[in-house]
Amino acid sequence: DVMDEFLKELVTLGLTSTPPIDDPSQPYHKLLVEQVKIVDLEGNMKQVYPSRTDLNFDNKNITVIRD
């Protein structure tokens, strides 16, 4: 998948999330991806990304937060 490869390359290049201020010992080369839901004006779900089948990594440097 293109997005999987893109996110892996971001981590490799060091373009990642910053460590939490309260725990600066966390490594810098970690990426946190948060799920986004798109709804229409009536509140009907149109799109969710990443879904349960998207962005399933063995790599511990990329974390996906899903609802």
Per-residue pLDDT of the chain (67 residues; tens, 9 = 90+): 898 889 888 888 877 776 666 666 665 678 888 999 999 999 999 999 888 888 887 877 888 888 8
Query: How many domains is the chain built from?
Result: 1
**What does the block give as tokens for 8?**
């892996």
Range of the domain at 46: 2-65
Query: Residue 67 to residues 13, 26, 35, 36: CA-CA distances in angstroms?
Result: 28, 24, 7, 9
pTM: 0.64
